[in-house]
Structure 1
Amino acid sequence: MRVLQLIDSLQPGGAERMAVNYANAFSKRIPGSYLCCTRKEGLLKAEISPEVGYLFLDKKNTLDLKALLKLRKFVIKNEIHLFQAHSSSWFLALMVKLSIPKLKIVWHDHYGRNLNKRRKKILRIASRFFEGIITVNAALKEWAEKNLNSKEVRFFRNFLPDAQNRVPVQLSSLKGQQDSFKILCLANLRPQKDHLNLLKAFETIEKVYSQASLHLVGKDKEDNYSIELKTFVRRTHLEEKVFFYGETQNVKELLLQADLGVLSSASEGLPLALLEYGRAGLPVVCTTVGECPEVLGKEGLLVPPADPKVLSEAILHYIDHTGKRKEAAENLQKKILEEYSERTIFPEVENFFRILLQE
């Protein structure tokens, strides 16, 4: 079995991290594991195992013939059997398959927005050519079964690698007063993550507990959404308590310095940030969106989205109750290591792929 992960970018994000996780996991188990980044490289490139065959297309537009031919040549040369196409990369996978009919496609759906507004017409037609679909939560599986045409739809949890490639990074500390209660949000700055909800909650928290600080770690496009968040911070005079970090490779080190992990999202798929929080031993507060309730269960505090008052109350509860906070963190860490690890999830996926390739 020879499998290629297809992903548009290697900038830190959930789908991008999972593409790397799958490529690295396959490289330990099969003779040919590959990853193709179609449009833009990024920090995650350094986390790809040396055993993974890598290709960068530098694709300029949707119908980039040069990139298509380059990928087709790579597939033929390396005798690749199956594409695991993450998110929107399914289109390029389909273009290659039309010229190599025996090539199989498994589409990996990481969609984390409002499913009621999702466009499906073109995807429904394309799905006739998918041998299988993987979804990251149960709602996406139900949506695919109802709206698409692939006969094999499976829900597999996202997972964390059993062993991480050590990427040399410049160690740094979380900003602000080191003795503050450090709340960390690991999420790229985009509307679905609803950082404004968190900032409004933190405004309340800071008035009650002045020793709190908020640390926002994730890609900053410096767009209108980013400007809105930073304007709010200035207007509420929280510049010395709220810190923006952008994308960084030393996420693990920053998590180990935090006291609490939070996600205030309006919508999600299955956020890897929750798994990272759990593995780092952090207590967690997050919104009841996507697969978050299933991941967290009773081992954290769940709040409704777009409700900064309830979010602030939940965070303050953990600040005030050290024992409950530590117990929840320990239980969540155990759950993540047992139920969301590579050794637990990946064998099911590998078996699914082998079944598809036998057909």
Structure 2
Amino acid sequence: MRKIAVFSNMYPSEKHPTFGIFVKNQVDLLRSKGLDVEVTAIDDPSKGKVNAIRKYAFWFLKSLGYMLKNRKSISVTHAHYAFPTGYISLLGKKWLGLPYVVTVHGGDIDKMATKSERIASMTKEILQQASAVIVVGERLKRDVIEQFGVREELVHTMSMGVDTQIFKPLPKVDMRDELNISQTEKMILFVGNLIEAKGVLDLVDAYKVVHDAYPNTSLHLIGSDKDEQFMKTFAARVQMDDVHISHHAPLSQIEIAKWLSAADVFVLPSHHEGFGLVALEAMATGTPVVATNVGGLSYLLDNDAGILVEAKNSDSLADGIIQALNEGQTDRKPNMQCKVAQHTYDVIAERLQTIYDSVAKGRKTDE
């Protein structure tokens, strides 16, 4: 195996350490297994039309230049997100004969491909021309096969994996002491971007019901406030509810693992979700998970590995949280551990290397 060129429109930096952290984690994993991986990515999440044009144009040209310069040493390119990232790999195949793998994360199918017929058509070509398509959830597998006409034998369902060296059970008492959380309160935790699509308002409404039933509960939300207008709505909703809700800025994965271990229940009330990696990370710490029955979460929490509730339904969400609080943290552990074992880094690394090897063997070259 020679060089793997990874392209991504999301990648963390010192200034933005959580932006596309799952891509970096996979790159680090592959490098730890001895693979030669080079990354060309966007590490700036800032918005604005002018800024977007500038950063995407620079990234696009840099990526093409990298492939041209290293075309003889690159075995496979790997694009994270079908569009726009996959278009770079598509051009690499058309112009330089470089085979590629594309990972579909969800938003590129659920949202990006629905923006226009042109983007949908480009997404279809990107997926159909790929030597392998990786999807992070079973629903996405069905979508790329049925909606975009990709041959089933080319589609591989595989999450980004969970780092069980970081996400593992930690002593709850110690973690609560460190985080200054009361040992007696029932702690509910959410981790993710504070946006409407993550069901944050549904969670606030549900928490009001839960708090009435369990006055000693607390709700902590960890994540970025990317949408200024939504945060105004969120703040108004929180003020209307006479309960204590804490919002924390994004944290490192090591710190997130401490919060997950300190929690009584982890909640992910997304309206749509490709996989729901943070739910898997919560399971790896031994914390019960309540999540909406959407996308990859439907499969991740099936077989009693977690509690599935109806999306966009705060009453159903409240019922699920109360059920989890009543059950405690031991009832579902065997099922949770079974799910985690299917998504460890070692399992993911082995599967990725197998895909890369298979794709690289099919490369046509004049060397």
1:154 is aligned to 2:129? no
CA gap of 1:62–1:41, structure 2 versus 1, over 3 A, is closer
1:85 is aligned to 2:64? no
1:8 is aligned to 2:13? no
In structure 1, the residue matched to 2:31 is 27
Q: Could you tell which deviates more after superposition, 124-133 or 5-14?
A: 5-14
1:286-309 CA-partner distances (Å, limit 9, x unpaired): 111112132122122111111111
Q: How far did 1:312 drift?
A: 1.0
1:90-126 CA-partner distances (Å, limit 9, x unpaired): 2333345454x22222111011588499422221233
In structure 1, the residue matched to 2:90 is 94
Q: Could you tell which deviates more after superposition, 79-88 or 267-276?
A: 79-88
1:56-103 CA-partner distances (Å, limit 9, x unpaired): xx9754762x4434333434348322221111322333345454x222
Q: Whole-Å Cα distance in 2 between the matches of residues 318 and 154 of structure 1? A: 32
In structure 1, the residue matched to 2:173 is none
Name the aligned partner's letter for residue 80 of structure 1: I
Q: Could you tell which deviates more after superposition, 72-81 or 208-217?
A: 72-81
1:111 is aligned to 2:106? yes
In structure 2, the residue matched to 1:137 is 137
CA gap of 1:71–1:312, structure 2 versus 1, over 3 A, is same
Structural RMSD (CA): 3.0
Q: Percent identity?
A: 19
Q: Is the 8 A contact 1:184 1:214 kept in 2?
A: yes
Q: Is the 8 A contact 1:68 1:95 kept in 2?
A: no
Name the aligned partner's letter for residue 86 of structure 2: W
Q: How far did 1:178 drift?
A: 5.0
Query: Structure 1, unaligned stretches of length 5 or more?
Result: 43-57, 166-170
Q: How far did 1:188 drift?
A: 1.1
Q: Whole-Å Cα distance in 1 between the matches of residues 80 and 111 of structure 2? A: 21
Q: How far did 1:232 drift?
A: 0.4
CA gap of 1:68–1:312, structure 2 versus 1, over 3 A, is closer
Name the aligned partner's letter for residue 90 of structure 2: L
SS at 1:108's partner residue?
Answer: strand
In structure 2, the residue matched to 1:235 is 240
Q: Whole-Å Cα distance in 1 between the matches of residues 144 and 349 of structure 2? A: 21
Normalised by the length of structure 1, the TM-score is: 0.82
1:355 is aligned to 2:351? no
In structure 1, which of residues 65, 68, 72 is the aligned counterpart of residue 64 of structure 2? 72
Q: How far did 1:282 drift?
A: 0.2
In structure 1, the residue matched to 2:196 is 191
Query: Structure 2, unaligned stretches of length 5 or more?
Result: 115-119, 168-175, 363-367
CA gap of 1:22–1:257, structure 2 versus 1, over 3 A, is same
Name the aligned partner's letter for residue 104 of structure 1: P
In structure 2, the residue matched to 1:48 is none
1:306 is aligned to 2:312? yes
CA gap of 1:37–1:300, structure 2 versus 1, over 3 A, is same
Q: Whole-Å Cα distance in 2 between the matches of residues 133 and 281 of structure 1? A: 31
Name the aligned partner's letter for residue 130 of structure 1: A
Aligned length: 332
In structure 2, which of residues 266, 269, 274 is the aligned counterpart of residue 269 of structure 1? 274
Normalised by the length of structure 2, the TM-score is: 0.80
CA gap of 1:131–1:60, structure 2 versus 1, over 3 A, is same
Q: Is the 8 A contact 1:172 1:254 kept in 2?
A: no
Q: How far did 1:32 drift?
A: 0.7
Q: Is the 8 A contact 1:114 1:267 kept in 2?
A: no
CA gap of 1:31–1:221, structure 2 versus 1, over 3 A, is closer
Q: Whole-Å Cα distance in 2 between the matches of residues 108 and 97 of structure 1? A: 16
Q: Whole-Å Cα distance in 1 between the matches of residues 7 and 20 of structure 2? A: 10
In structure 1, the residue matched to 2:172 is none
Q: Whole-Å Cα distance in 2 between the matches of residues 130 and 113 of structure 1? A: 15
In structure 2, the residue matched to 1:168 is none
Name the aligned partner's letter for residue 153 of structure 1: V
Q: How far did 1:204 drift?
A: 0.7
